[in-house]
Structure 1
Amino acid sequence: MSKLVPEIPTIEEIYPAELGAAQKRRWEHLLAKFEERYGAPADYIARSPGRVNIIGEHIDYMLFSVLPMAVNSDFLLAVRVIPNSNTVTIANVLEKYPQRQFQVPAQGELEIDATQLEWSNYFKSGLRGALELLRGKGLTPKNVGMEILADGNVPSGAGLSSSAAFTCASALASLAAMGDGTVDKKELVNLAVVSERYVGVNSGGMDQSASVLGVQGSALYISFHPTLSATPVAFPKTTPELTFVIADTLVTADKHTTGPINYNLRVVECTLAAQVLAKKLNIGQLPEDAGPLGNSFKGLMDKYFSAQGEEEIPLDKKLEELIELTKKYLVKEEGYTREETAEILDVTVEELVQRCMVKFPIQASYFHLRSRALHVLQEAHRVSTFKSLLDSSSASPSSPTDTFIPTKLGAIMNDSHASCKNLYNCSCPELDTLCELARSSGSYGSRLTGAGWGGCSVHLVPQDKVPAVKAAWRKGYYEKKFPGISAEKADSAIIVSNPGCGAVLFRVGK
């Protein structure tokens, strides 16, 4: 895999043939609107896609491996670089997002008010991360301003990581303007992970990794420890062909607004669960790592088995033992109060709040440490099993009509959804309905994807069953929940996608 974000000469390198004509019109429209608005042509377009997570939900921020893929929906930023300026003007092809203008400080941080749900904050976060990366490498960012026009078709709040696509595209656009013209993929991923935290969202790194590192035709097995790595993983060749179908509930899941009771709360609960289990296991302080709050279950696992002198035990066996230890020591199914949690950790409630609940405020009377820990550890085990099945199918291909591997993969996806629903409490009735309808219509496996609480579901479907699945959704979900919904609106909520390519730069006129 190339280390640098590629510069492409033609957009045919990005999209499958069936989308080529429509995407060409979209890019041409963006460039025409840019010149109409700013009176001069754009210099380049920074492009970063959304992603769908196939397996491994809510475990990336605990530093366990995940298996997502980039999708064809993406975020485009047309950019003109203005020499000897510090002014950034950003607009959107959709007029509901008002034009914004701000100045880039020559020194110090670019201020972002994370308390405001403001669309341009995502660009600011990517720009701030780019500035910090360049300065951290001892480089002086070029003294330039930018004129920008944005066009995104990744559904917002749907679990396809529209925010990460926007942030990655913003960081890429900023590095292209203010750096030396080349952008390292892993540096882009790492700065985008940090950047999204500037707008108040705890992000583990999966979304940004899939968006930047995506490989057309392959899912990505992404590991975060000891360093970020992404390995392309192929699905078995079958007859009929396997495909992924993504269905949007049309129920918005906004991590920024609901973070204190949903997404960010889960990050805090997982971190506390790891700390409490470490205390119960008497293994001392957890190592500081890249977890959003400084600790992770991966760190717990490594320290526990290192203390046992058993580092070489296979991952599956380690996870199975930790699952049993969680059941033994985290016994309160109803949850732990702040006072109980603080007492176990030998800190005051005030110290607990300062340690875990100031950077990302939460609202909770009880912490459900047992169920969150069980989900994380069991989901990490599912990812390992899923990848092993794919590896075995690549090493020893079976008959194209053999359904053994697809059936096994689908069962793992179904188990993942059940865990998200019952242990992590991040599903909702709409997601459950879409999954049930798909399974009864021919899907091998169906699960929520993304943060949950609305958003999208992902389904592993044989190509010949796709029409039946889509028809079941239209009749059994969209027409029932949204009476009078147009066929066009219902169809637009469904995406049939195989793995797409990652972030690219397109130089206009070259």
Structure 2
Amino acid sequence: MATYLLRPQLSTSSPRSQPNVRLKICDGECYDLVPLYDPTDDFQARKFAAIDTDSYPTRTLPASGYLSFIMAGVVPVAKSLKDIYTEDALAAQTKRWDNLLKQFKSNYGHDAQFVSRSPGRVNIIGEHIDYSLYSVLPMAITADALLAVSTKIDESASTSTTFKVRVSNVQGDKFPAHEFDIPFDAVEIDSKVHEWTNYLKSGLRGALEILRKKHGDGFRPKSMEVLMDGTVPAGGGLSSSAAFTTASALAVMFANGEQSVDKTQLTELAIVSERAVGVNSGGMDQSASVFSIRGSALYVSFNPTLTAKPVHFPKTNPELTFVIAQSFVAADKHVTGPVCYNLRVVECSLAAAYLHAAINKSKDPLPSDSGPLGVSLHGFHSKYLGDSTAPLEEQLSELIELTKKTFTKEEGYTREEIASVINMTVPELNERFTSTFPVRAEHFKLRQRTLHVFTEALRVLKFMKVLEHPESYLNADGGNSTETFNRKLGDLMNETQTSCREDFDCSCPELDELCEIAKKAGSYGSRLTGAGWGGCSVHLVPADKVDAVKEAWEKEYYSKKDLSKEQKEAAIVVSKPGSGSAVFVVEGGNVA
């Protein structure tokens, strides 16, 4: 197996030697696969890929295959900010990065060695179903977490039992600096204390576990100095915590000599790491942060293993845009977890165990899976319909009807009622499902939560079907109009919002208001995104209606709130799919 680097095909007049492997894309573009050790490369390192050259000396792929091909492999090491950001964002980002590096030198007295970067995400469809192991469709955004880093080797490292981490934030007045002396073999995190550095610690702890397994008991972590800058709004539903945790894990890996960090390993590491700060994270946020490529949404699946596939939106008339609007209702799932986010994870897990016990009439528990609490609704699905040859859409429809027949109590189920069905005592139930991430509830609304998960999983499949087979929708209106296609996608997003509001109970009046205002002003589809209970909303808006939607929000929503100038400027974002995690090696103390 030889490792090669993908880059645009060299011209025949190029003085550089031509590679002996070529990849031809079916859309007519040709690319050279350059040996990784070739000193002539002037590459965008995000396009690493592995190919068996003995079996495939020449390879032809459709565009979708090409995109999957370049997503495999390691986190890219960017040579330029152009490798990370779109052209329209470069000026602002260059200024921001320059300020970050200047402040790093001011704080620590020397230049940073590298910057670890991971973006936030907006979820297009597939809300609150990742931790039930159903597929989702997010995309990365420009807003991100940056960690400027330098390493210091303690002269007494061979005898010392600790290493040092100094961490500060560009918003030092809001997030005070800290210094930690951390034992080589343990990183302690108190998930009950909501401290901003917990996200750094969680990524640190997860990365060190991987490094110790690789290098053995003799591994000694390097001391680090870190300056953090984040533009993903906290509590905004755009995964600021996942961006910070992922960037932290990546920074620790790179600082300790891992120059080629595997994307899948980083994603799985970040998923587990964030749970250390008290959240039953599913995996969508971290997957979008790591795997995304510019210009594409991401179809993320969790069963049987974590996979990510880029998805393009076809050209439409009118052109479609995604607009993100903040409600300015803080939705910190780490603080409200016991009655909001973590409670929903528990309810979905209990529902899976209940359905299995009720349907099978067996004392055998539901087989464990990779869900946050060890069982999931997808796990029940696989057990109950594992031998079915029916299309997945039909299977989900069957599960929806089964849910309605099995869960008849709209008011919810008590611990005693659930325990009696799943063959546990109440103390056993509490220990199994509510001890790691405590929740507060007298009744668990298993019917409503399960209906949301199965119907949302079905909506994701329908959304993907429209994107992958758009012909019948794009041509339905005659001429150049794609109104039918646009409305089909929008209708599915609107259905998600209804389900989030009525069945999953994770919306709020402010989010509902933003969605209604947008639809009246021209949005095809409007829904909350992220955990909910506040935060952000996402809207599928025709390009020629974006200004009208923004004006309606300003008049009917934002003008009625006491917002700062900075908040008003950040309230609305017209988003394009962005790139995923990357490392930028600093040369000469700047980004030029």
TM over 0.5: yes
Question: Which residue of 2 is the match for residue 151 of structure 1?
Answer: 229
**CA distance in 1 between partners of 2:288 and 2:315 (Å):** 22
Superposition deviation, residue 141 in structure 1:
4.2
> In the alignment, which residue of structure 1 is the partner of 2:442?
365
Matched, 1:329 2:406: yes
1:266 and 1:18 map into 2 onto residues whose CA distance is 39
Amino acid corresponding to residue 453 of structure 2 in structure 1: V
User: Secondary structure of the residue that 1:417 maps to in structure 2?
Assistant: helix
Percent pairwise identity: 55
5 Å matches for 1:159-178?
159-178=237-256
Post-superposition offset of 1:471? 0.6
1:120 to 197, 207, 228: 197
Q: CA deviation at 1:490?
A: 2.2
1:137 deviates by 3.5
Q: CA deviation at 1:487?
A: 6.0
Aligned to 2:19: none
1:414 corresponds to: 494
2: CA distance between counterparts of 1:193 and 1:275?
Answer: 23
Query: Map of 1:64-75 to 2, 5 A cutoff?
Result: 64-75=134-145
1:180-222 Cα shifts (integer Å, max 9, x gaps): 3210000000000000010001100000000011111110000
Q: Matches of 1:322 and 1:488 in 2, distance apart?
A: 47
Q: SS of the residue aligned with 1:232?
A: strand
Within 5 A, what are the aligned runs for 1:66-145? 66-84=136-154, 86-95=163-172, 96-107=174-185, 109-139=186-216, 141-145=219-223
What CA deviation, in whole Å up to 9, does each residue of 1:268-317 have, x standing for no partner?
000001111111111642111110100011110111113xx32x321111
Deviation at 1:488, TM superposition (A): 5.3
- Aligned-partner residue type, residue 417 of structure 1: Q
- Highest relative contact order (Cα 8 Å, sep 6+), 1 or 2? 1
Task: Name the structure 2 match of 1:15.
Answer: 85
> Which residue of structure 2 aligns with residue 42 of structure 1?
112
Does the residue aligned with 1:272 lie in a helix, a strand or coil?
helix
**2: distance between equivalents of 1:143 and 1:61?**
32
**Partners of 2:202 and 2:184 in 1: how far apart?**
16
Which runs of 5 or more structure 2 residues have no equivalent in the other structure? 1-70, 158-162
1:270 corresponds to which of 334, 348, 367:
348
The match for 2:96 is 26
Distance (Å, rounded) in 2 between the aligned partners of 1:142 and 1:468: 57
Provide the C-alpha distance between the structure 2 equivalents of 1:456 and 1:506, rounded to a whole number of angstroms: 29
Q: CA deviation at 1:135?
A: 2.1
What does residue 417 of structure 2 align with?
340
Q: Is the 8 A contact 1:474 1:490 kept in 2?
A: no
Report whether the alignment pairs 1:448 with 2:528. yes
8 A Cα contact 1:129 1:171, kept in partner: yes
SS at match of 2:527: strand
Shift of 1:104: 3.0
- The letter for the 1-side match of 2:439 is I
- 2:428 aligns with 351
Give me the whole-angstrom Cα distance separating, in 2, the residues matched to 1:213 and 1:293. 25
Report the equivalent of 1:384.
461
The answer for the alignment partner of 1:239 in structure 2 is 317
Displacement, 1:396?
8.7
Partner of 2:266: 188
Query: Does the CA contact (< 8 Å) of 1:342 and 1:348 recur in 2?
Result: yes
- Cα drift, residue 359 of structure 1: 0.3
Q: How many residues align?
A: 504
Number of the residue aligned with 2:21: none
Q: Which moved more, 1:429-438 or 1:237-246?
A: 237-246
Which of 513, 535, 539 is residue 459 of structure 1 equivalent to? 539
Rounded to whole Å, the distance in 2 between the matches of 1:112 and 1:33 is: 27
Give TM-score, length-normalised by structure 1: 0.96
In the aligned structure 1, how far is the partner of 2:284 from the partner of 2:472?
Answer: 26
Do residues 432 (structure 1) and 512 (structure 2) align?
Answer: yes
TM-aligned CA distance change 1:184 to 1:434, over 3 Å: same
CA distance in 2, matches of 1:121, 1:423: 32
Letter aligned with residue 281 of structure 2: S
Aligned-pair CA distance for 1:397? 5.9
Deviation at 1:142, TM superposition (A): 4.5
Of 170-179 and 43-52, the range deviating more from structure 2: 170-179
Partner SS for 2:148? strand
Secondary structure at the aligned position of 1:81 is classed as strand
1:491 to 545, 566, 569: 569
Q: 2:300 aligns with which of 219, 222, 234?
A: 222
Q: Does 1:508 align with 2:592?
A: no
Judge conservation of contact 1:201–1:256 (CA < 8 Å) in 2. yes
Q: Structure 1: how far apart are the matches of 2:176 and 2:443?
A: 40
1:300 aligned residue: 380
SS of the residue 2:539 aligns to: strand
TM-score of the aligned structures, taking structure 2 as reference length: 0.83
Compared CA separation, residues 313 and 141, structure 1 to 2 (3 A): farther
**In the TM superposition, what is the alpha-carbon distance from 1:402 to its structure 2 partner?**
1.6
Alpha-carbon separation, structure 1, partners of 2:564 and 2:262: 44
Q: Deviations over 1:235-272 (max 9, x none)?
A: 12013321100001011001111100000000000000
Equivalent AA in structure 2 for residue 240 of structure 1: P
Deviation at 1:138, TM superposition (A): 4.8
User: What CA distance in whole angstroms lies between the structure 1 residues aligned with 2:195 and 2:566?
Assistant: 29
Shift of 1:394: 7.2
TM-superposition CA deviations, 1:38-74 (whole Å, max 9, x none): 1110000000000000000010000000000000000
1:8, CA displacement in angstroms? 0.5
Q: CA deviation at 1:130?
A: 0.1
Matches of 2:264 and 2:373 in 1, distance apart? 21
Cα gap change, 1:332 to 1:179, in 2 (>3 Å): farther
Find 1:6's aligned residue among 53, 60, 76: 76
**Alpha carbons 1:142, 1:179 under 8 Å: kept:** no
C-alpha distance in structure 2 between counterparts of 1:357 and 1:114, whole Å:
15
Larger Rg: 2
The 3-state SS of whatever aligns with 1:460 is strand
Q: Which of 549, 553, 564 matches 1:469?
A: 549
Instruction: Report the Cα distance in structure 1 between the residues aligned to 2:290 and 2:571, rounded to whole angstroms.
Output: 24
Whether the 8 Å contact between 2:474 and 2:485 is mirrored in structure 1 is no
Partners of 1:73 and 1:503 lie apart in 2 by 12
Shift of the 78–486 alpha-carbon distance from structure 1 to 2, 3 Å rule, reads: closer
- Worse-superposed segment, 276-285 or 143-152: 276-285
Unaligned runs of 5+ in 1: none
